[in-house]
Amino acid sequence: MIFDGFHPMVAIATTPQATELLHSLCQRLKATLYVPETLPLIDTTTLHYQGSLKAHLATIWPKNRAFIFCLATGAVIRLIAPLLKDKASDPAIIVIDPLGNYVISLCSGHQGGADRLTQLIAHELNATPIITSASHSLNLPGIDILGLPFGWRKGSGDWTGVSHAIASQKTVQVIQEAGSQLWKDNLPQNHPFYFGFPEIDETIEPAARIWISPTQRKFAETSTFPKVQWYPRVLWVGLGCIRGTSQEFITSAIEKVCQKYHLATEAITGIATIDIKADEVGIIEYCQEKQYPLLTYSADVLNTIKVPHPSEVVKKEVGTGSVAEAAAIYGANYWFNYGGNREKIELEKSLLVPKQVIKSDNEAVTIAIAQSELEYTGREGKIYLVGMGPGSLDQITPAAKTAINEADAIIGYSLYLDLIKPLRRSGQIVESLPITKEKERAQRAIELAHWGLSVAVISSGDCGIYGMAGLVLEALKNSNWDGKNPSIEVFPGITALQAAAARVGTPLMHDFCAISLSDLLTPWDVIKKRLTAAAMGDFVTALYNPRSQTRQTQIIEAQTTFLQYRNGNTPVALVRCAYRQDESIILTNLSEMLNHKIDMLTTVLIGNSSTFFHQNWMITPRGYNVNN
Ligand code: SAH
């Protein structure tokens, strides 16, 4: 799922060593591996190519979005040189050395996605990514890929000139009139963007300009000042037409209206109309060609919207006074959950172009255009539920690292987001919420995923053990989730009890259990019952959330309960901040454990009746017959 955006993807190896390296990588990436006929096929996911690699590449070139080579860089350059066209259409080209130490983003770093794929593969292989683009080294989002997560369309302009101004660290003015502002939130402090508009500081002389707007700007061909435009898809076209109006007529009418109002057709999200037009061939064909969603509403729904130009004639015919204006407004406000609870009065404000009628002898359309607050991404969202382990980067699984790096947005508690800072990618949205706001964090993740982003929700330890994963799935269930959109993937992590155990020895060698002493979400009676059962059952027990500033007595009750069933000198380990900089470990016993500091950063490990200490190691015997 993580690599979906790069499919179809192929890898090429020409030696046994390279085949071995790429084979397991390809299984994780779901890529097809090609080897020459002289090498044996490992399994059905590997294919032979016949004849020369050069000829084979030419055949598969147009069908694939990414190529991974385990070959000398020089050889790869010679092979692909005749096939390269331009950076907007060339596939991502990646080279890996046969030892798997380096992953090189060779070609199509930005638009082809090679820089991103390189980082992901480097995480998978625990290799060093080699990325040479200027924006990457400045920790900035590539300007030619800035809007991709939000589904913005790229307009014309001097993209190379603007990128060069950014790479030269000159001031670049950004005029954003629509679309998400989230890309701005995590820019590095010394970023080159200047957002002043229309109040422009006279002393600032920008070297380039970026427009982010649905309005069509005209860039004079003679101008040497580099300018580019991104179009967030915020326009909804409300459409009515007489039966049988052709796709061509609809296309040209929409273009005419956009031109008249200086709107870019690239900023169109979709078409909205009345339900009786759901089978109108011209509209269907037009939407199919443009890949626009087509929303249809009943006359009753459209009737609820107050429009500036209602028509009595239309009302008599179809039961609502307005098709184009009402449908445009409805589309712009209700296509997405965000638009849920708007006041009627606000709805009208979204109407940008009032009803326009365009006719010929036998064809006619009415067009109105409304602007939605939030752009349409055209993407299906994903949620990665990621466990980041106890704290240090080398205790995170490579798969979790890849997920963190791939995500468009990362959500978590600020301490954890700081710990994983080195794994983050430039241009990522990062949102932290206070530790008490877990439910809000889950909601926010779902909101962003519904909108179309890939979102990594980060928990410490394992995300499914007193972590965020359950909250997200519960919230999805409560919102009638279909199990598919957003898609979910869970990435396990080393949980606190494993981390704590590893630091003190092998205390979990026999049956064990985890009990959280937090009674904020669970009644104390229930916790008490479990403590008693664990103590009676002679389970090695890990206590999570043992004591906080407001919950001081629970750990005392836990100790008292265990003392009823277990000896006072039963080994206890208090492991605080395992694998973090301020780690501390105290080995004590059941009677004395409360003489030491225990807080919310501590995991308490209570041994069973046969656990012992030896040379400062806590050991629980493996055998059932403890006398052996
Ligand atoms: N999902 C987490 C647990 C969150 S509950 C996991 O799987 O580890 C929070 C509790 O976990 C803390 O109160 C503490 O008891 C324990 N904990 C989390 N990280 C820890 C660490 N690095 N060292 C010791 N205990 C830790």
Provide the pLDDT for residue 623. 78
Provide the pLDDT for residue 304. 87
Among 394, 457, 463, 466, which residue has the most ligand 1 atoms within 8 Å of its CB, making it the best to mutate? 466
> Do 46 and 35 contact (CB within 8 A), yes or no?
yes
Query: Residue 70 pairs with which residues in a beta bridge?
Result: 13
Section 420-433 average pLDDT: 90
CA angle 78, 84, 90 (to 5 degrees): 130
* Ligand 1 and 518: CB distance under 6 A: no
Tokens for 297?
């509403």
* Ligand 1 and 544: CB distance under 6 A: yes
Centroid of ligand 1 to alpha carbon of 174 (angstroms): 43
In percent, the amount of the chain with pLDDT more than 70 equals: 97
Section 335-361 average pLDDT: 73
Centroid of ligand 1 to alpha carbon of 598 (angstroms): 12
Torsion 474-476-480-485 (CA) sign = negative
Query: Residue 423 pairs with which residues in a beta bridge?
Result: none
For the stretch 447-499, pLDDT in tens is 999 999 999 999 999 999 999 999 999 999 998 899 999 999 999 999 999 99
> Do 344 and 330 contact (CB within 8 A), yes or no?
no
On the 0-12 / 13-18 / 19+ scale of CB atoms within 10 A, 599 is middle
On the 0-12 / 13-18 / 19+ scale of CB atoms within 10 A, 563 is middle
* Ligand 1 and 502: CB distance under 6 A: no
- Domain covering 235-371, topology: Nucleotidyltransferase; domain 5 (3.30.420)
What CATH class does 497-619 carry? alpha beta
Say whether 216 sits in a helix, a strand or coil. coil
Q: Who wins on pLDDT, 201 or 224?
A: 224
How many whole angstroms separate alpha carbon 559 and alpha carbon 183? 50
Q: Who wins on pLDDT, 502 or 43?
A: 502
Reply yes or no on whether the pLDDT at 380 is more than 70. yes
Among 601, 605, 606, which residue has the most ligand 1 atoms within 8 Å of its CB, making it the best to mutate? 601
Residue nearest to atom 26 of ligand 1 (CA): 496
> Do 366 and 323 contact (CB within 8 A), yes or no?
yes
Q: Give me the half-sphere count of Cα atoms (radius 13 Å) on the Cβ side of residue 135.
A: 23
Centroid of ligand 1 to alpha carbon of 135 (angstroms): 37
Reply yes or no on whether the pLDDT at 403 is more than 80. yes
Backbone angles phi, psi at 103, to 5 degrees: -120, 120
Centroid of ligand 1 to alpha carbon of 527 (angstroms): 17
| DSSP H helical ranges for 30-63 | 53-60
Q: What is the CA radius of gyration of the chain?
A: 30
Q: Using 50, 70 and 90 to split pLDDT, how confident is the model at 343?
A: low
Count CB-CB contacts under 10 A for residue 24.
Answer: 14
Residue nearest to atom 3 of ligand 1 (CA): 466
Reply yes or no on whether the pLDDT at 23 is more than 90. yes
Centroid of ligand 1 to alpha carbon of 405 (angstroms): 23
Least confident stretch, 57-61, 246-250, 342-346, 370-374: 342-346
How many whole angstroms separate alpha carbon 322 and alpha carbon 330? 11
Reply yes or no on whether the pLDDT at 14 is more than 50. yes
In the sheet where 617-619 sits, what is the strand order? 505-506, 617-619, 612-614
How many whole angstroms separate alpha carbon 456 and alpha carbon 113? 19
* Ligand 1 and 257: CB distance under 6 A: no
How many whole angstroms separate alpha carbon 551 and alpha carbon 41? 61
3-state secondary structure string across 478-539 = HCCCCCCCCEEEEECCCCHHHHHHHHHEECCCCCEEEEECCCCCCCHHHHHHHHHHHHHCCC
Reply yes or no on whether the pLDDT at 39 is more than 60. yes
Section 385-404 average pLDDT: 95
Beta strand pairing call for 409-412 and 487-491: unpaired
* Ligand 1 and 389: CB distance under 6 A: no
DSSP state of 24: H
Q: Using 50, 70 and 90 to split pLDDT, how confident is the model at 556?
A: very high
Q: Which helix (H) or strand (E) holds 556?
A: helix 554-565
Reply yes or no on whether the pLDDT at 234 is more than 90. yes
Distance of CA 351 to the CA centre of its chain: 32
Superfamily of structural domain 382-494: Tetrapyrrole methylase, N-terminal domain (3.40.1010.10)
Provide the pLDDT for residue 338. 43
Least confident stretch, 247-256, 287-296, 425-434: 425-434
How many whole angstroms separate alpha carbon 215 and alpha carbon 178? 9
Output the average pLDDT for the chain: 92
CA angle 209, 210, 215 (to 5 degrees): 115
CA distances from 441 to 17, 458, 460, 505 (A): 45, 10, 14, 35
For the stretch 310-338, pLDDT in tens is 888 888 988 898 999 999 999 898 766 44
Reply yes or no on whether the pLDDT at 624 is more than 90. no
For the stretch 282-299, pLDDT in tens is 999 999 999 999 999 999
> Do 351 and 309 contact (CB within 8 A), yes or no?
no
What CATH class does 4-132 carry? alpha beta
Q: Using 50, 70 and 90 to split pLDDT, how confident is the model at 340?
A: very low
Tokens for 395?
């205790």
DSSP state of 34: E
CA distances from 465 to 442, 543, 553 (A): 15, 13, 23
Section 345-367 average pLDDT: 89
Reply yes or no on whether the pLDDT at 589 is more than 90. yes
How many whole angstroms separate alpha carbon 481 and alpha carbon 171? 45
For the chain, what are the domain ranges?
4-132, 148-231, 235-371, 382-494, 497-619
